[in-house]
């Protein structure tokens, strides 16, 4: 076929999006001189080939996915995405257009200057089947076959079409069967498939619908031998058409139409109705049939003897009847690999199949050639399929939909094609003159050929360069994903013991913008053998105690995201964040600082799935970002650190002269208090709330007693050489920046300054607890907290309680047991506390009902009860 030279005529141009038309949705059909065309938008065009005019434009309520023509009924069936199937009577539509020719209205102009045609909105009543899940359909005589994408499976449904002159709505469903699971199958509402499935009808020669004049590429008549081999004896005896379904996952299934009808009357096992013929392992974009054997002289009807199916990437299946070595008829299946990606295809006469790629329109010949085959002579059985298919170029590029015209000249073929740029064209091939006579080579012809060759080389070189870039991007993405998988496995498998990647948090006070600020320093350390490259980020979430009490605490927390760029093995990265106080001068303690590693799949994989130049090559536009998971990344928790009052205390009285600044800073004073103090002169004092509270109210006090034995087991040998009280204070302030000074001076009590400037006094002393153990007094350590601020005292007490809880849990894990106790004494203490709690509840209820005069006394008594509760007689063992 080297001599095939098509005659290309451009008929009209139609509007298309900026990147061109995408394959799969556009359709072009021919009925006599009329051409029905859709570009994948909501418009359907009617073009008169003889007059060269655009005669009508129909606007549907959604994207048009498929068209079918019924010639005998003069009806056009249209599938609108997420809407359903609409039916237009062509005769009524022509009358409507004729009446509206003189009216004003919206018009649709073609690009090549044809006469404008009124845009006719389609009446919603024209919808004969409402179903948002429909993906494709076909019409066979008086039957409508649809394929819908359900939540878990594809579904084939059969409906009865009305007769001419009746109500155009469908009479009802006749049968239904489910196919395999769709590619994006999930319990959620299914999304629109990227590749639409394909339906095709194969009829035996004796079927009454074999000559129903179905226009389009959806109906073929197979030879009786091949039909029986493919679909079985039952389908041959019933002379029933068979529906072929090509699915986006590569499955080629078939359903006998007559069994589908009877299944609606007597439901049974639906799986028995579906037969899987083959699996191409890539989306099927075309199913068809053609005649490869020459006809005998006394045979008039030309039935197809070869079934073909094409995949998106070029994998092609051909099936034909053949004889085996024992002389039995068997189906011969052969797979080929054609250039891809395949945008569209069509079967023509002479055993030729046409298929389009982004760079060319090609034709392959499956015809046997030679003498006709006689089924009565097995020794001269049907010819086998060719071992290799060699596509011949027709020098037409970017054809997105293709159809064989019924107006082809004798001995030739005429193709209707629509390009990605929206150009409608005809390609005429003279199949009888494939080998042209030698022509004289001229200098002009030689120059033109050389120019075409150079242009082709440049195009191929550009495509190779782009494909190499895309492959490199995907290889890099795969490498990054492999590294991310290794890091994830290393972190998840080391939950106990040292972690290969760790993040430690420390706090310190510093001076920022003329204000003392508590800052947290997060140190990310990579001790693994892997690198943290592009896509990794350190996420630090700061959650205060008030935010933790909210219902949606995750949304109220402050999260910092810091990209981690090339953190190799043994490397460190330090991040410093402000914790407070805020604009109101308050620091809401405790504060939880959570660190985690986040790996962004969209950042790493998104560029590989959608290259920047994907519009240049439609073959690479098959992996949308919808395949990414909803969370868009992987989150690996590293650490959680709680910042409490004990870590935030500052001790200006302990600072040495050379350490006064900047490590130990005094709390910032209120500018208004400073101004008023200057106005009053030296020696005068302001009577503010803080000073009044410190002068007239006793400090708030809380205490907790801990067994000396329990504390010795906790502090261990690290505090040897000092008294138990000093060791306990150092243990409580272990995460405070002033712990070294406390250790150097061997202090057992210390006075610190809270973030708001009020004093907090920690006193540690040894006491003896009697009446608790029958063996004698128990040695204990009492930890007392004093502060003029009730809030600061509570925060410090909460921090001490938290450390005690962790201590008790650790000692319980070691199996230590408490001494014998007097249970009656414990019961009495518990009863006293329960009585105090009841009195607290009674006083709180009374506060809600009393007037202002009586409420002061009640509040004072309530504070006394709280002081008793904060200093219990219980001992922590």
Q: Residues 757, 670: contact at Cβ < 8 Å?
A: no
DSSP string, 708-757: HHHHHHHHGGGGTTS-HHHHHHHHHTTTSTTHHHHHHHT-SEEEEE-TTS
Confidence of residue 662 (pLDDT cuts 50, 70, 90): very low
Q: What is the mean pLDDT of the chain?
A: 79
DSSP string, 151-200: SSSEEEEEEEPPPTTS-SS---EEEEEE-SPPTT--SSPPPPPSS--EEE
Per-residue pLDDT at 684 exceeds 70 = no
- Taking 3-state DSSP, the helix, strand and coil percentages for the chain, each rounded to the nearest 5, stand at 30, 35, 40
Sign (positive or negative) of CA dihedral 609, 611, 613, 619: negative
Per-residue pLDDT at 264 exceeds 50 = yes
The model carries a pTM of 0.53
CA distances (Å), 449 to each of 8, 393, 439, 442, in order? 19, 15, 14, 11
The predicted structure's pLDDT at residue 625: 43
Alpha-carbon distance of 658 to 660, in angstroms, equals: 6
Per-residue pLDDT at 211 exceeds 70 = no
Mean pLDDT score, 627-635 = 64
The predicted structure's pLDDT at residue 613: 46
Quick one: which of 294, 369, 375 has its CA closest to 327?
375
Distant-in-sequence, close-in-space partners of 610: CB < 8 Å, separation ≥ 6: 621, 623, 624, 625
pLDDT digits 0-9 by tens, 110-166: 554 444 457 899 988 889 999 999 999 999 878 899 999 888 789 999 998 876 556
CATH number listed for the domain at residues 2-17+24-371+383-431 = 2.130.10.10
Quick one: which of 361, 494, 363, 292 has its CA closest to 1?
363
Confidence of residue 668 (pLDDT cuts 50, 70, 90): very low
769 in the Ramachandran plot: left (φ > 0), alpha (ψ -120 to 50) or beta?
A: beta
Percentage of the chain exceeding pLDDT 70: 74
* Exposure class string for 847-867: b at 16+ Cβ within 10 A, else e: eeeeeeeeeeeeeeebeeebe
Domain boundaries of the chain, sorted by first residue: 2-17+24-371+383-431, 501-643, 646-821, 822-877
Alpha-carbon distance of 310 to 389, in angstroms, equals: 13
DSSP string, 334-395: EEEE-SS---EEEE-STTEEEEE-SS-EEEEE----SSPP-TT-GGG-PPPPPS----EE-S
Mean pLDDT score, 212-234 = 77
- Residue 109 main-chain phi, psi, to 5 deg: -95, 140
Quick one: which of 41, 37, 14 has its CA closest to 27?
37
Alpha-carbon distance of 592 to 640, in angstroms, equals: 7
Lowest mean pLDDT among 304-308, 694-698, 774-778: 694-698
CA distances (Å), 118 to each of 45, 80, 90, 101, 274, in order? 11, 21, 16, 7, 46
pLDDT digits 0-9 by tens, 315-335: 999 999 988 888 788 899 999
Sign (positive or negative) of CA dihedral 441, 447, 452, 454: positive
The predicted structure's pLDDT at residue 99: 54
Domain covering 501-643: architecture: Sandwich (2.60)
């Amino acid at each position: 076929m080297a001599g095939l030279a098509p005659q290309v005529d451009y008929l009209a141009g139609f509007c298309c999006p900026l990147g061109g038309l995408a394959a799969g949705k556009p359709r072009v059909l021919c009925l006599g001189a009329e051409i029905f065309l859709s570009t994948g938008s909501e418009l359907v065009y009617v073009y008169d080939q003889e007059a060269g005019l655009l005669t009508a434009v129909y606007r549907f309520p959604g994207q048009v996915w498929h068209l079918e023509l019924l010639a005998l009924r003069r009806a056009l069936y249209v599938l609108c995405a997420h809407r359903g199937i609409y039916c237009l009577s062509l005769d009524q539509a022509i009358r409507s257009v004729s009446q509206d020719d003189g009216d004003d209205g919206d018009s649709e102009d073609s690009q090549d200057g044809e006469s404008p045609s009124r845009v006719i909105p389609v009446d919603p009543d024209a919808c004969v089947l409402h179903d948002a899940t429909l993906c494709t359909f076909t019409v066979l005589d008086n039957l409508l076959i649809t394929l819908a994408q359900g939540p878990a499976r594809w579904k084939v449904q059969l409906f009865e079409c009305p007769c001419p002159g009746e109500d155009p709505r469908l009479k009802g469903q006749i049968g239904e069967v489910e196919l395999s699971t769709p590619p994006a199958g999930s319990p959620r509402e299914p999304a629109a498939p990227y590749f639409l499935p394909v339906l095709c009808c194969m009829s035996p020669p004796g079927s009454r619908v074999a000559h129903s004049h179905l226009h389009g590429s959806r109906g073929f008549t197979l030879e009786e031998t091949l039909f029986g081999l493919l679909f079985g004896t039952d389908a041959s005896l019933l002379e029933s058409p068979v529906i072929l379904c090509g699915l986006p996952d590569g499955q080629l299934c078939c359903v006998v139409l007559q069994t589908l009808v009877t299944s609606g009357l007597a439901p049974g096992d639906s799986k028995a109705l579906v037969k899987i013929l083959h699996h191409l392992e890539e989306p099927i974009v075309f199913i068809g049939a053609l005649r490869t054997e020459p006809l005998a002289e006394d045979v008039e009807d030309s039935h197809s003897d070869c079934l073909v199916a094409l995949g998106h990437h070029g994998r092609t299946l051909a099936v034909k009847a053949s004889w085996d070595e024992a002389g039995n008829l068997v189906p011969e299946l052969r797979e080929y690999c054609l250039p891809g990606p395949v945008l569209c295809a069509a079967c023509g006469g002479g055993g030729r199949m046409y298929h389009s790629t982004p760079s060319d329109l090609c034709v392959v010949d499956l015809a046997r050639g030679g003498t006709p085959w006689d089924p009565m002579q097995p020794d001269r059985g049907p010819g086998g399929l060719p071992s290799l298919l060699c596509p011949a170029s027709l020098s037409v590029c970017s054809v997105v939909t293709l159809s064989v015209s019924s107006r082809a000249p004798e001995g030739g073929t005429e193709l209707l094609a629509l390009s990605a740029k929206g150009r409608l064209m005809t390609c005429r091939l003279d199949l009888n003159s494939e080998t042209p006579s030698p022509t004289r080579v001229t200098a002009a012809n030689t120059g033109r050929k050389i120019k075409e060759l150079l242009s082709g080389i440049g195009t191929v070189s550009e495509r190779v360069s782009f494909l190499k870039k895309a492959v490199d991007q995907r290889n890099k993405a795969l490498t990054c994903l492999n590294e991310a998988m290794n890091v994830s496995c290393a972190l998840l498998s080391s939950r106990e013991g040292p972690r290969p990647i760790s993040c430690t948090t420390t706090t310190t006070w510093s001076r920022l913008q003329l204000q003392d600020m508590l800052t947290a320093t997060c140190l990310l350390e990579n001790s693994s053998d892997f690198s943290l490259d592009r896509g990794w980020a350190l996420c630090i979430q700061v959650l205060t105690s008030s935010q933790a009490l909210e219902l949606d605490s995750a949304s109220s927390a402050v999260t910092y995201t810091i990209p981690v760029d090339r953190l190799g093995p043994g490397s460190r990265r330090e991040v410093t964040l402000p914790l407070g106080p805020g604009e109101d001068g308050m620091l809401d303690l405790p504060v939880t600082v959570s660190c985690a590693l986040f790996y962004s799949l969209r950042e790493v994989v998104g560029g590989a799935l959608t290259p920047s130049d994907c519009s240049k090559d439609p073959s690479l536009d098959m992996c949308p970002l919808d395949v990414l998971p909803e969370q868009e990344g992987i989150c690996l928790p590293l650490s959680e650190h709680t910042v409490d009052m004990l870590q935030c205390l500052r001790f200006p009285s302990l600072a040495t002269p050379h350490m006064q600044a900047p490590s130990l800073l005094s709390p910032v004073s209120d500018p208004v208090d400073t101004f008023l103090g200057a106005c009053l002169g030296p020696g005068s004092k302001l009577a503010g709330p803080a000073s009044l509270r410190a002068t007239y109210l006793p400090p708030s006090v809380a205490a907790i007693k801990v067994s000396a034995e329990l504390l010795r087991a906790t502090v261990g040998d690290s505090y040897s050489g000092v008294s138990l009280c000093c060791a306990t204070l150092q243990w409580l302030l272990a995460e405070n920046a002033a712990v070294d000074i406390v250790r150097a001076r061997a202090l057992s009590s210390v006075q610190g300054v809270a973030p708001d400037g009020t004093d907090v006094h920690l006193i540690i002393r040894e006491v003896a607890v009697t009446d608790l153990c029958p063996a004698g007094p128990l040695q204990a350590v009492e930890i007392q907290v004093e502060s003029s601020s009730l809030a600061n005292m509570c925060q410090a007490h909460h921090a001490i309680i938290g450390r005690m809880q962790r201590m008790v849990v650790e000692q319980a894990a070691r199996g230590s047991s408490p001494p014998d106790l007097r249970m009656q004494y414990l019961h009495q203490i518990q009863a006293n506390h329960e009585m105090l709690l009841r009195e607290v509840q009674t006083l709180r209820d009374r506060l809600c009902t009393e007037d202002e005069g009586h409420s002061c006394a009640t509040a004072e008594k309530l504070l006394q009860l709280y002081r008793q509760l904060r200093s219990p007689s219980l001992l922590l063992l």
